[in-house]
């Protein structure tokens, strides 16, 4: 892992925490309360993902899908208008509030603020068969934000995702990380303030994979 990564992540989390805690704390409390009131189900959602060099860890997010979302269908990839997404989830996902608990994963050293998005083991194995070399993206710590997400979208196909991730790994540095974080913030603000004006996104090919709740 590059020497700058850990100090950069911790410093930015502390800085943003000091400045934004009056906003973050109420948002997290409201999100947790809304999720619980909607169906009295668990507020947090954990799922096994693959980190750097294939190490397994459990990612933490606010739950945005119905309980036992895969009990009838088995592992399937979450779609844009997935019926399993709850009403609260439809509000949390565009704003990325559901991903705030991943700061715990970052503080544990399992993730970084910026890096390739972590995938489920089942998903990675299937993509590796279709896209040889897909596991190369695990040379870096996974991140909350990534080049594939700000340049592509949530449904970026694996082959294109790999290109973006390899490009990031080749050029990673504090400057690029800052640029990606700012781009991610702009995208979130656009969804919140100008709904319906974001450019149309191409639909990814349907694949049988794990739900990325």
Q: What is the pLDDT of residues 109-137, one digit of tens each?
A: 999 999 999 999 988 999 999 999 999 99
Instruction: Check residues 201 and 76 and name the one with the higher pLDDT.
Output: 76
pLDDT tens for each residue of 9-66: 999 999 998 888 888 889 899 999 999 998 898 999 999 999 999 999 999 999 998 8
pLDDT band at 68 (very low <50, low <70, confident <90, very high): confident
- Give residue 210's pLDDT: 38
Please give the Cα distance from 140 to 172 (Å, whole number): 10
Q: What is the pLDDT of residue 199?
A: 44
Give the model's pLDDT for residue 100: 93
Share above pLDDT 70 across residues of the chain, in percent, rounded to a whole number: 84
pLDDT of 72 above 80: no
* Mean pLDDT across 70-93: 72
Q: Per DSSP, which regions of 9-68 are E strands? A: 44-50, 56-62
DSSP 154: T
On whether the CB atoms of residues 100 and 145 are closer than 8 A, the answer is no
**162-213 pLDDT per residue, tens:** 999 999 999 999 999 999 999 999 988 887 777 654 444 444 344 333 334 4
Amino acid 205: pLDDT: 40
Tell me how far apart the alpha carbons of residues 40 and 61 are, in angstroms, rounded to a whole number: 17
Q: How far apart are CA 1 and CA 139, in angstroms?
A: 9
pLDDT beyond 60 at 77? no
Which residues touch 141 (CB under 8 Å, ≥6 apart)? 1, 5, 51, 52, 110, 111, 112, 115
Cβ 192 vs Cβ 94: under 8 Å: yes
């Amino acid at each position: 892992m590059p020497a700058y990564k850990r100090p950069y992540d911790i410093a930015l989390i502390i800085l943003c925490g000091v400045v934004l805690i009056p906003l973050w704390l109420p948002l997290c409390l409201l999100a947790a309360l809304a999720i619980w009131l909607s169906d009295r189900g668990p507020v947090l959602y954990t799922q096994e993902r693959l980190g750097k060099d294939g190490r397994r860890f459990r990612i933490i997010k606010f739950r945005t899908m119905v309980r036992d979302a895969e009990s009838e269908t088995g592992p399937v990839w979450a779609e844009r208008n997935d019926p399993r997404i709850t009403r609260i989830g439809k509000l949390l996902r565009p704003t990325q509030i559901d991903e705030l608990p991943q700061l715990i994963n970052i503080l544990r050293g399992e993730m970084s603020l910026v890096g390739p998005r972590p995938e489920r083991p089942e998903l990675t194995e299937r993509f590796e068969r279709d896209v040889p070399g897909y596991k190369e993206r695990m040379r870096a710590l996974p991140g909350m934000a990534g080049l594939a997400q700000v340049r592509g979208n949530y449904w970026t196909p694996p082959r294109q995702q790999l290109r973006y991730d390899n490009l990031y790994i080749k050029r990673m540095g504090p400057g690029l990380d800052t640029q990606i974080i700012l781009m991610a913030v702009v995208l979130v603000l656009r969804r919140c303030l100008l709904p319906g004006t974001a450019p149309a996104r191409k639909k990814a090919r349907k694949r049988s994979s794990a739900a990325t709740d």
